[in-house]
Amino acid sequence: MSAALTTAERRALRRAVTLLDLDGTRFAASVIVGSLGLASAVGLSAVAAWMIARAAQASEVAALGVAPVAVRLFGISRSVMRYCERLLSHDTALRGMTSLRTRLYEILAAARTDTVAGLRRGDVLARVGADVDAVGDLVVRSLLPIAVAAVLGVSTSLGAALVYPPAGAILAVCLLLSGVAGPLVTIRSARAAELARQEQATDLSAAVMNLLDGADELRVSGRMPRAMSDLAGLEAHLAATRDRAARPAALAAVIDTTAMGLAVLGNILVGVPAVADGRLAPVWLAVIVLVPLSAFEASAALGPASVQLVTSAGAAVRIVDLLDDAAASAARVPTPRPLPAASASGPRLRARGLAVGWPGGPVLIDGVDLDLEPGRRLAVVGPSGIGKTTLLLTLAGLLEPRAGELTLDGAPPWGAERAEAAARVSLTAEDAHVFDTTVLENLRVADGALTRERAAALLARAGLGDWLARLPDGLDTRLGAGATAVSGGERRRLLLARALAAPAPLMLLDEPGEHLDAATADRLVGDLLHAGTAPAAGPEASNADATGPAAEARGVLLVTHRLSALAGADEVLILGHSHAAARPDETGGVDGTDDSPAGTPAVVTRRGTHAHLTAVDPDYRWSLQQEQETHV
């Protein structure tokens, strides 16, 4: 059946099966037990046929010998063997799927950030979910049925040949017709339909993820009905493609039934003359006629097995493509080197003439100079899309600088062991994930050893003390998928508490006040800037635990587009374009309507303390006034 697959599909399938790391002994045991289970069904048919025919000849039960006992034996053993085969085969497949999925995650974790970030969430979900399942199903639904059918077909044909050679030959030919011709016909027609279904399933998964992530924005813009209509269209198309993919399996069932009928008819045609000539005992005629009814039970599974082969081959191609892209990306990452020991005052992040941008793309920001160490608080301000997030990813060592110098304690952070760099510099992204688990476990993402007492103290410090007290199960309250059970402000403060829980002395935070009302955003940004010094003041903070990394002096660098909360920053860096008209927008950054040539990187146009910029920079002061007037 592999002849119906392309060379790339066969190669990908072999590689994916290798990554399953199947236990050969377990798989062989599954084949043996599965064959014994179906052999019991064949034996039950043969013994029952012999016993019925013999009972018609003999008037005494004793003449039947051990046949009644054999019927019971085969009837019970069939169910027992089938159950054992299911246990063995599914355990083997699940172990393999776990191995493959673990390998996928390991390779993705080692890949460059630009490679992983360029994947659609729905696409990743489909590949590490449904595609891995499809490759694992190859064991249970394709390889195992094929192996069992081969073993049973050979043994049954030989058994029939021992009774009457022509009957064995007829059975073998019909089994070949059912087991080879049927799947070859169906696999070719199933291939196009099944691969199309897989692509549509991936598109459907990506559409659902986009719909869930952007549900609020779609409702506000009035585009939710259209998005739901498009999703319904994808589902309908997928259902139609699934129906087309099921037709080949039905055709295989027709061929299997036809071949079984030919075997029964052929054995009748050769058996009746043999009985008349005395070459075959009458009781054996019933055996060779009825045995094919059970012998074709194994070949009936080959049609679905061939369709599963196509499904698994398509999934294997997609998995291997992902592995190759991620592995190639990981190969471009330099061999990690240990970071030098931090100074007594803590780690230091230093940038000089730093240029940042995604690999293969334009330079977004150029000429950045900054120093971050424990106790120092920096703010980077600029309009959306200018490259602030890319700057943070570069400072955290997730992207390699495009030019300039970037060091963490004298060594490049992107060339260090990821765990070692993360122990000194933590990054909390704007869209950091809140997991569908308890409040405590969401905080333990940053520190697995976090105690319940310190978790409560960190939540209080982040302004969530009253919120925690109102939760039905306290720290053990589940937040639900996507944190839908918490408000935007609560979600941001929860992420702040997680950032404070991280043991890294240097914190990088991306737009912590985004999507919040002005007052809440300003309070949150103020709290973050105070994270570099003493615990935040206020009634909730008075009970905070002053022990652990959260209470130590932190180095804080946050990206924001608001200015009104930056009084606590030691220095504010304003990003813009050197050729811009220097007209700030209402969010405090230089807007995108300037005279800069297309592709011109942004630079640090102004820098200083909040008080200094307010006093001497009219554009900064104008932006600050706009914020205050807009949100009075």
Torsion of CA 423, 426, 432, 437, to 10 degrees: 40
DSSP string, 60-104: SGGGGTTHHHHHHHHHHHHHHHHHHHHHHHHHHHHHHHHHHHHHH
Which run of H or E residues covers position 365? Answer: strand 365-372
Report pLDDT for 107.
77
pLDDT band at 68 (very low <50, low <70, confident <90, very high): confident
Give the residue from 356, 349, 316, 446 showing the smallest Cα distance to 114: 356
Output the pTM of the full model.
0.61
> Is residue 587 scored above 50 in pLDDT?
no
Residue 436, both tokens = 């569908």
Q: Tell me what the mean pLDDT of segment 273-289 comes to.
A: 90
DSSP annotation of 356: E
Q: How many CA atoms lie within 13 A of 600 on its CB side?
A: 15
- Residue 280 three-state SS: coil
pLDDT above 90 coverage of the chain, percent: 23
**Which of the residue ranges 239-253, 342-356, 497-511 would you say has the lowest mean pLDDT?**
239-253
Which amino acid is residue 241, in one-letter code? T
Q: Where are the beta strands (DSSP E) in 518-613?
A: 555-560, 571-576, 603-608
Predicted confidence band of residue 115 (pLDDT cuts 50, 70, 90)? low
Please say if the pLDDT value at position 166 is more than 90.
yes
Q: CA 608 to CA 620: how far, in whole Å?
A: 11
What pLDDT, on a 0 to 100 scale, did the predictor assign at position 594?
A: 44
Minimal CA–CA distance to 406: which of 419, 428, 390?
390
- Residue 10: the pLDDT is 86
> What is the structure's pLDDT at 9?
83
C-alpha–C-alpha distance, residues 511 and 483, integer Å? 18
pLDDT class of 193 with cuts at 50, 70, 90 = low
- Is residue 187 scored above 60 in pLDDT? yes
Position with higher pLDDT, 593 vs 134: 134
pLDDT of residue 113: 67
Cβ atoms of 579 and 597 within 8 Å: the answer is yes
The amino acid at 446 = A
Q: Report all structural domains of the chain as residue ranges with CATH numbers, in order of start.
A: 2-195+245-329 (1.20.1560.10), 349-386+402-630 (3.40.50.300)
Residue 551: predicted pLDDT: 41
Average pLDDT over residues 533-548: 38
pLDDT at 195 over 70: no
Q: Above 80 in pLDDT, residue 211? A: no
Sheet containing 571-576, strands listed edge to edge, beginning at the edge strand earlier in sequence: 425-428, 506-510, 555-560, 377-381, 571-576, 603-608
Per-residue pLDDT reduced to its tens digit, 317-342:
888 887 787 777 666 656 667 778 87
- Please report which helix (H) or strand (E) contains residue 408, including its range: strand 403-408
Lowest mean per-residue pLDDT among 244-248, 329-333, 455-459: 329-333
- Give the pLDDT confidence score for residue 4 in this predicted structure: 63
Lowest mean pLDDT of 138-147, 397-406, 620-629, name the range. Answer: 620-629
Q: How confident is the model at residue 516 (pLDDT cuts 50, 70, 90)?
A: low
Report pLDDT for 298: 86
Q: What angle do CA 593, 598, 600 make, to 5 degrees?
A: 95
Determine the number of helices (DSSP H) and then strands (DSSP E) in the chain: 22, 9
Give the tens place of pLDDT for each residue, 12-46. 888 888 888 888 888 999 999 999 999 999 999 98
Crossing angle of helices 224-277 and 282-299, rounded to 10°:
160
Give the pLDDT score at 248.
67
- pLDDT for residue 631 is more than 60: no
Of residues 118 and 161, more confidence is placed in 161
Q: Give the residue from 95, 90, 85 showing the smallest Cα distance to 152.
A: 85
